[in-house]
């Protein structure tokens, strides 16, 4: 019985099947956290680029 429990623990320790999903979840948490920290700067940069794009489109004329 003792060897069976020890073997089961060793198998669980070396099992890496769920490791990939855990890494992706942690990466997603980090990315969302960074986005929330810098949301005002990101919003400002996107708005500036959209304003530039709008000005470029408005200034475009067909020949």
* 35-45 pLDDT per residue, tens: 999 999 999 99
Split into its structural domains, the chain has a count of 1
Which residue range is the domain that position 39 belongs to? Answer: 23-53
Rounded Cα–Cα distance for residues 1 and 3 (Å): 6
Is 27 a member of any domain? yes
Q: Which residues, other chains included, contact 35 with Cβ-Cβ below 8 Å and sequence gap of 6+?
A: 42
Is 47 a member of any domain? yes
Average pLDDT over the chain, rounded to an integer: 84
What is the per-residue pLDDT for 1? Answer: 58
What is the per-residue pLDDT for 14? Answer: 76
Residue 35 has which token pair? 């986005």
Is 46 a member of any domain? yes
């Amino acid at each position: 019985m003792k060897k069976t429990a020890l073997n089961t623990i060793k198998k669980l320790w070396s099992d890496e099947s769920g490791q990939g999903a855990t890494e992706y979840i942690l990466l997603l948490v980090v990315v969302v956290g960074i986005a929330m920290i810098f949301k005002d700067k990101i919003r400002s940069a996107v708005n500036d680029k959209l304003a530039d794009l709008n000005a470029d489109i408005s200034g475009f004329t067909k020949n």
